[in-house]
A and B are shown apart, each in its own frame.
Chain A
Amino acid sequence: MAKYIIKRILLAIVSIIIVSAITFFVMNAIPGGPFNKEKATSQQAQKVLEERYNLDKPVPQQYILYMNNLLHGDWGVSLHSGRDIWGEISSRFSVSARLGGMAAAVAIVVGLILGALAALTRNRLPDRAIVFFTTLGTAMPSFVLATLLLLVFCLKLKLVPVWSSSNPNYTLPIIALSVYPMAYITRLTKTSMLDALNQDYVRTAKAKGVPAWKVIFKHALRNALIPVITYVGPMVAYILTGSMVVENIFTIGGLGSSFVTSITNRDYTMIMATTIFLAFLMVIANLLTDIAYKFVDPRITFD
Chain B
Amino acid sequence: MKKKLLSALLAAAMVVSLAACGSAPAAPAPDEVAEQGATEEAAPAADAAEATVTNADTNILRINLASEPDYLDPALNSSVDGGCLAVNSFAGLYTYNENGELIPDLADGMPEVSADGTTYTVKMIDSVWSNGDPLTAQDFIYSWNRVIDEQTAADYAYLFDVFVAKSDGTLAVEAPDDHTLVMQLQAPCPYFNDLLAFPTFFPVHQASVEAANPDGDVPGKWAQEAGFVCNGAYTLKEWNHDESMVYVKNPNYHDAANVTMDELHFMLSADDTAIYAAYNSGDVDYIDTVPNDEIASLNGINPEFGILPQLGTYYVCFNVNDPMFDGKTEEEAANMRKAMSYLIDRQFIVENIGQTGQQAADAFIPAGMSDGNGGEFKAGVSYYDAEKTGADMVEDAKALLESAGYSFTDNGDGTYAIDPAINMTYLTNDGTGHVKIAESIQQDFGALGINIEIKTEDWNVFLEDRKNGNFTVAREGWVADYNDPINMLEIFTSDSGNNDAQLGKGTPVSSSPKWDEYNNMINEIRYDTDLAKRVETMHKAEDMLMDTGAVIPIYYYNDVYMQKSNVSNIYATVFGMKYFMHATKN
Q: Which residues of A contact B (CB under 8 A)?
A: 30-33, 36-46, 48-49, 52, 77, 80-83, 88, 91-92, 132, 135-136, 139-141, 143-144, 147-148, 150-151, 154-155, 158, 161-165, 168, 244-245, 247-254, 257, 260-261, 264-266
Contacts and interface: CB of A to CB of B under 8 A. Distances in A.
B160 to A, nearest CB: 12
| The 7 nearest A-B residue pairs measured at CB | A253-B242, A40-B497, A32-B460, A165-B244, A45-B153, A162-B278, A165-B265
Interface in B201-250: 217-221, 224, 238, 240-246
Contacts of A254: 242
Contacts of B32: 38
A165 to B, nearest CB: 4
B273 interface: yes
Q: Which of the four size classes fits the interface of chain B?
A: 35 or more
A164 B6 CA distance: 39
A30 B281 CA distance: 41
Nearest to B263: A165
B5 to A, nearest CB: 10
A33 to B, nearest CB: 7
A147 B41 contact: yes
Contacts of A264: 36-37, 458-460
28 contacts: A31-B464, A33-B464, A36-B460, A36-B464, A37-B155, A39-B78, A40-B467, A45-B153, A48-B153, A81-B220, A82-B219, A82-B220, A88-B241, A136-B13, A144-B41, A163-B267, A165-B244, A165-B266, A245-B39, A248-B39, A248-B270, A248-B271, A250-B274, A251-B242, A251-B274, A253-B241, A264-B37, A265-B460
Contacts of A92: 241-242
Contacts of A266: 460
Given A92-B241, A143-B41, A266-B460, A49 B13 contact: no
A161 B273 contact: no
B82 to A, nearest CB: 11
A265 B459 CA distance: 9
Nearest to B40: A143
A195 B496 CA distance: 71
B558 interface: no
B37 A257 contact: yes
Of B42, B70, B158, B467, the most chain A CB neighbours within 10 A belong to: B70
A150 B281 CA distance: 10
Contacts of A48: 150-151, 153
B17 interface: yes
Interface string B141-165: 0000000001101110110000000
Contacts of B459: 264
Nearest to B216: A52
Contacts of A135: 10
Contacts of B238: 165
Given A144-B16, A158-B281, A250-B274, 11 more contacts: A32-B463, A40-B496, A41-B497, A81-B224, A155-B44, A155-B46, A155-B277, A164-B244, A165-B244, A253-B68, A261-B37
A88 B497 CA distance: 31
B71 A81 contact: yes
B544 interface: no
B66 to A, nearest CB: 12
Nearest to B279: A162
B112 interface: no
Nearest to B459: A264
Contacts of A31: 460-461, 464-465
B9 interface: yes
Interface string B374-413: 0000000000000000000000000000000000000000
A274 B219 CA distance: 24
Given A135-B10, A147-B41, A251-B267, A45 B155 contact: yes
Contacts of A251: 242-244, 267-269, 271, 274, 278
B293 interface: no
B333 to A, nearest CB: 25
A148 B277 contact: no
A144 B283 contact: no
A108 B17 CA distance: 25
Contacts of A139: 10, 13-14, 17
Nearest to B18: A144
Given A83-B224, A132-B9, A52 B217 contact: yes
Contacts of B240: 165, 253
B39 A252 contact: no
Interface string B436-469: 0000000000000000000000111101110100
A252 B242 contact: yes
Contact of A44 (B78, B150, B244): B150
Of B16, B46, B158, B460, the most chain A CB neighbours within 10 A belong to: B460
A44 B497 CA distance: 11
A81 B278 CA distance: 27
B498 interface: yes
Nearest to B497: A40
A132 B37 CA distance: 34
A98 B107 CA distance: 49
B283 A148 contact: no
A85 to B, nearest CB: 12
B287 to A, nearest CB: 11
A88 B70 CA distance: 13
A144 B463 contact: no
Interface string B123-155: 000000000000000000000000000110111
B157 A42 contact: yes
A83 B242 CA distance: 14
Contacts of B498: 39-40
A147 B21 CA distance: 11
Contacts of A77: 218
A46 B467 CA distance: 14
A248 B241 contact: no
B183 interface: no
B33 interface: yes
A251 to B, nearest CB: 5
Nearest to B246: A165
Given A32-B458, A154-B281, A163-B283, A248 B221 contact: no
Given A48-B150, A82-B218, A155-B281, A143 B39 contact: yes
A71 B37 CA distance: 31
Interface in B474-506: 477-478, 496-498
B31 interface: yes
Contact of A150 (B16, B44, B467): B44
A168 B36 CA distance: 23
Contacts of B283: 161-164
Interface string B1-37: 0000010011001101100110000000001110011
B49 interface: no
A36 B465 CA distance: 11
Nearest to A160: B281
A38 B151 contact: no
A299 B459 CA distance: 54
Contact of B221 (A80, A82, A162): A82
Contacts of A82: 71, 76, 218-221, 224
A150 B463 CA distance: 34
Nearest to B476: A38
Nearest to B72: A81
